[in-house]
Structure 1
Amino acid sequence: MTRLIVAAGGGGDAVAAAMLHTALYGDEDQAVILTYAWDRLLVDPVPGPRRPADFTGLEPVTQSVWSVPAEARPVPPAGSTLPRLAAELPHTLALLDPGQGAEGVTRQLEKLISHLSPESIDLLDVGGDILARGDEATLKSPLADALTLAACCQVNTPVRLLLAGPGLDGEIPPADLRPLLGPLVHTFTPKDTETISAVLEWHPSEATAMLAATARGVRGTCEMRDAGLSIRLTDEGATVHEVDLDEAVSRNSLARAVMMTTTLGEAEAHSREICGFSEIDYERNKAAWLKKQPPVKLDPGKVLPQLDRFQTEARARGITHTTFRHLTEALKLSGAQRGDLRELLISERPSQHDAPLWNVTAHPEGTKPQT
């Protein structure tokens, strides 16, 4: 028995898909998780999503769909978390390529469905930006979700849209999402997170990290992203709801606009027109800025006092937690230093590691004396 889960927005949704599969379907069968290779600039210095030609070692599934095995490698200078995910998750990761727009994504999905004859097809989004109208002031990354939504509504096989962790991506407030949510499908528990615990030790996804944290009982307010968005960690954060696919398409102006696109550039143009921006433009501008920044050494003697100042200011803002991605940017370190920063902080102040988040309010008991 094969189940197909489409990760609406990329790598973080793919990690959540693995947790969802275990929670809903158990461990006996493996899933095929169809996902973008779109890791943003923390992992991949090249703006936009990666395509099959950006990898070596991919394996053909159909004429238009490739799987990403553990042995695959991104072609430098590109980066990708997918090969490591493939090594650590028991599922097949299939590469979603948006290079030919929504029409191309639709063809890939149709070919994969024909090849697999899956028992079920779930389209999973963590946070809820797949339900964006397009004019929300807090919207940051609607394009990937719009393309997958446009494709899923055009295949001739039933697709169930699932929304996990309403509001955890910081793009649409939970209050705006609640009227759109359908039946409760599942509430994640600490046991459910065991499937992805090891992955969350290194994967940069913030929304999925908060999803797992709320499942583990973490509550408070988490600061995320380079802009420092504040996200409430509540009981609602651990829930998974079904959402009517047709209603989602009716609401999502960008998804409707991109349905007939045949290139990613066309889809980007629609995003600029409807949402006022393209997230890939943002990545392009930020990548150009990052290239001009001088390298910064990870010096514990400087980082820990900087951390103390950040935490004092964060607590004054009412923040209880933050992500390691946000900490990396707040301390003005590069994305490549995120793992080293995490190891340093957990080693020095283990009591503040509220896995997979960082607790800025916890008393740093066990802090190692600085030498």
Structure 2
Amino acid sequence: MTRLIVAAGGGGDAVAAVMLHAALYGDGDPVVIFTYAWDRLLIDPLPGPRGPGNFSGLEPVTRSVWSVPATARPVAPAGSTLPRLAAELRHTFTLLDPHHGAEGITRQLEELVEHLSPTSVDLLDVGGDILAEGDEPTLRSPLADALTLAACCQVNAPIRLLVAGPGLDGEIPADELRPLLGPLVHTFTARDVEVIGEVLGWHPSEATAMLAATARGVRGVCEVRDAGLPVPLTDEGPTVHEVDLDDAVGRNRLARALMTTAALDEAEAYSREICGFSEIDYERDKAARVAEQSPMHLDPAAVWSRLDAFETQARARGVTHTTFRRLTEALGLSGSHRHQLRRLLVDSRPERYAAPLWRM
């Protein structure tokens, strides 16, 4: 008896999948989490998702699917959080490889379903951008979710689409998502967060960090990403809703276009055509800019000075909380400094740590 959860966007969705499994299914059935290795630039300096060739030590599950055990390692200069997740959470993480487009993901899913005969298959998205039409002005990362949605709707198996934390990814406001959501499946609590509590101390996901924070009772406005997007932290934050899979596909124009794609480049082209951009292009441009910059040295005195200035300006914008990912970039630090920054701030001002967020 095995549960299969597809992490729609990878990264934080995979972490949230562990919390979802514990909350809905307990410890009775094991879970296999099917997820991208796509950790953006703070963890992985290379733009785009990783494929099997970017790892050593993967273990075969089916002809097209590999698991990422704790002993696996990304091949430098690539990076990935998956081996550490496998070590700390003791679940099976299998690698979703989008390099053969939606057709390749569909093939992987069909093989997994045949191999596992899972009791249930859930497609989980934190935030709700999987319901994007494609022209929303705040949309930033539609490609990953659209690819998984396109694949899931073509698999001959019952798949339940779940949206957790409506609006918490900062892409579609909760007010716009609310009419699209189906029945309430669960509301996360502080107890539910315990299973991923340690991981939240180092994992870079902002949406899942806010999902956990709202489950712990944090309310306010959280500023995220390099652009400083304000995300409301409300009572809707810790909720999980079911959404009809066919309705989601009917709404998501990019997902419909991607169904017959056989390469990631082809999928990117559709994203540029329908949404006006590709999130991997954004990562390419950002990687080039970062490479040209001289990152600030983590000097505590300079950090406190910049932090005080940043917080003063943020409070004037009505911001109450932020993520450590946002702080790292706002203070001019590199991704390698994020853990040092967290330790410095939490050790010095523990009363300001609204785990896993920073309170202004």
TM-score range with shorter-chain normalisation? over 0.9
Structure 1 counterpart of 2:223: 223
The equivalences for 1:243-258 within 5 A come to 243-258=243-258
| Structure 2 CA distance for aligned equivalents of residues 81 and 326 of structure 1 | 18
Once residues 313 and 258 of structure 2 are traced to their aligned partners in structure 1, the CA distance between those partners, rounded to angstroms, is 42
Quote the offset at 1:65 in angstroms: 0.1
For 1:218 and 1:249, the matched residues in 2 are separated by 33
DSSP 3-state at the match of 2:4 = strand
Q: In the alignment, which residue of structure 2 is the partner of 1:367?
A: none
Q: Deviations over 1:116-137 (max 9, x none)?
A: 0000000000000000000000
Classify the secondary structure of the residue corresponding to 2:198: helix
Q: Secondary structure at the match of 1:222?
A: strand
Alignment-derived partner of residue 323 in structure 2: 323
Q: Which structure 2 residue ranges, 5 or more long, are not aligned?
A: none
Partner of 2:77: 77
Task: Tell me, in whole angstroms, the C-alpha distance in 1 between the residues paired with 2:294 and 2:136.
Answer: 35
Contact 2:168 2:231 in 1 (8 A): yes
Give the corresponding residue for 2:344: 344
The code of the aligned residue for 2:259 comes to M
RMSD: 0.5
Alignment partner, residue 8 of structure 1:
8
Map Cα deviations across residues 214-256 of structure 1 (whole Å, 9 max, x no partner). 0000000000000000000001000000000000000000000
Counterpart AA for 1:47:
P
Q: Which residue matches 2:67? A: 67
| Letter matched to residue 119 of structure 1 | T
Q: Which residue of 2 aligns with 1:22?
A: 22
Amino acid corresponding to residue 75 of structure 2 in structure 1: V
Structure 1 partner of 2:43: 43
Q: Counterpart in 1 of 2:107? A: 107
Deviation at 1:91, TM superposition (A): 1.1
1:152-203 CA-partner distances (Å, limit 9, x unpaired) = 0001100000000000000001111011100000000000000000000000
What is the CA–CA distance in structure 2 between the aligned matches of 1:288 and 1:313, rounded to whole Å? Answer: 28
Deviation string for 1:65-120 (max 9, x for gaps)?
00000000000000000000000112100000001000000000000000000000
**1:333 shift after superposition:** 0.4
- 1:291 matched to 2:291? The reply is yes
Using the alignment, how far apart are the partners of 2:353 and 2:295 within structure 1?
27
Matched with 1:95 is: 95
* Residue of structure 2 in register with 1:364 after alignment: none
8 Å CA contact 1:11, 1:36 repeated in 2? yes
Q: How does 1:205-216 map to 2 (within 5 A)?
A: 205-216=205-216
Residue of structure 1 in register with 2:238 after alignment: 238
Indicate if the aligned counterparts of 1:45 and 1:79 stay in contact, CA closer than 8 A. Answer: yes
The answer to whether the Cα contact below 8 Å between 2:295 and 2:332 also exists between their aligned partners in 1 is no
**Offset at residue 30 of structure 1 (A):** 1.8
TM-score, normalised to structure 1, is: 0.97
Task: Give the total of aligned pairs.
Answer: 360
CA–CA distance in 2 between the matches of 1:330 and 1:28? 43
| Equivalent-residue separation in structure 1 for 2:349 and 2:305 (angstroms) | 13
Quote the offset at 1:294 in angstroms: 1.3
Task: Report the counterpart of residue 202 of structure 1 in structure 2.
Answer: 202
Q: Which residue of 2 aligns with 1:166?
A: 166
Q: Report the CA distance between 1:28 and its aligned residue.
A: 2.8
Cα shift at 1:27: 1.6
Name the counterpart of 1:308.
308
Helix, strand or coil for the counterpart of 1:161? strand
One-letter amino acid of the counterpart of residue 205, structure 1: S
Cα offset for 1:295? Answer: 3.4
- Asked whether the equivalents of residues 12 and 207 of structure 1 are also in contact (C-alpha less than 8 Å), the reply is yes
Hey, what's the Cα distance between the residues in 2 that align with 1:334 and 1:29?
Answer: 40
Aligned AA (2:114): S
SS at match of 1:45: coil
Partners of 2:2 and 2:31 within 8 A in 1: yes
1:63, CA displacement in angstroms? 0.5
1:71 aligns to what SS in structure 2? coil
Misfit runs of 4+, over 4 Å: none
Check whether the contact 1:30–1:90 (CA below 8 A) recurs between aligned residues. Answer: no
Given that 1:61 and 1:67 are in contact with CA atoms closer than 8 Å, whether structure 2 keeps it comes out as: yes
TM-score by length of 2: 0.99
| Distance (Å, rounded) in 2 between the aligned partners of 1:95 and 1:2 | 17
What code does the residue aligned with 1:41 have? L
Instruction: State yes or no: 1:31 paired with 2:10.
Output: no
